[in-house]
Amino acid sequence: MPSFSDEQKKIALLLLSEPKTEEELHKQLNLPYDKLGVELKQMLKLNLVLKEGYPTKYRLRQDIIDELQKRKKISEEDKFKIKIRAMIELRAVEETLLKKHLDKIGEALKKEDKFTIYGLTNAPIIEEDEMYASFIEVTLTVKDFPALIMFLFYYGPTSLEVIKPSKIEFSQYEFQEGLVSLSDIFQKYADYFSKKLTKTELDKFYKDIYS
């Protein structure tokens, strides 16, 4: 799903139902003509909208309309309050192995009952530094703070953007559950390292962490 600027999102929402002229968009958005022109020109350049007919009307690409309508329907049924966009980067020594990992993570995300997936796409696989690399871009809502902690640690996103809400409050119970989950994950990592590393390796690890 393409990324829209704030102004482009407003334009896209107006074009969801039908194509509109620049004059119609100007009246409904109350945007100065010069600003509107810049946004429409950028949307044309990115192939987000098309021009047709006389007088000239702008319309969204049909696949974008379909995707926005799908997300709107999901949103109407979605009860989760925290919406995020994240990028999960992956690397592997073999292209087929990387593709397998991408598919496996995508399937796992879709099966999580504490997540609602709005969009999930895999970037093209590229070869760099004798490795194969790609990333998953996913837009989703999470049920609560503990679910967000779970997403961060088990899926390891390299970047994350909070889409909504602009402000949030957690109950004491929810906040505590999240912290307990966080503590449990740290403890599992600590147990794993203590079993796999020698004392010298552990000392070096902790020195690197805290120095």
pLDDT attached to residue 2: 61
Residue, of 159 and 197, whose pLDDT is higher: 159
Q: What confidence category does residue 210 fall into, taking pLDDT thresholds of 50, 70 and 90?
A: low
Write phi, then psi, for 3 (nearest 5 degrees): -95, 135
Q: Show the CA angle centred on residue 68, arms to residues 124 and 149, nearest 5°.
A: 65
In this structure, are residues 104 and 70 in contact, taking their beta carbons and an 8 Å threshold? no
pLDDT attached to residue 43: 92
Instruction: Say which range, 42-51, 94-103, 181-190, has the weakest mean pLDDT.
Output: 181-190
Q: Which amino acid is at 102?
A: L
In DSSP terms, 139 is beta-bridged to 85, 119
Q: CA 173, CA 18: separation in Å to the nearest integer?
A: 47
Structure tokens of 194?
């203590």
Please count the other Cβ atoms lying within 10 Å of the Cβ belonging to residue 136: 21
pLDDT tens-digit map of 46-76: 899 999 988 999 999 999 899 888 888 999 9
How much helix, strand and coil, in percent to the nearest 5, is found in the chain?
A: 55, 25, 25
In DSSP terms, 91 is beta-bridged to 133
Where do we find the tokens 């999470």?
142
| pTM as predicted | 0.71
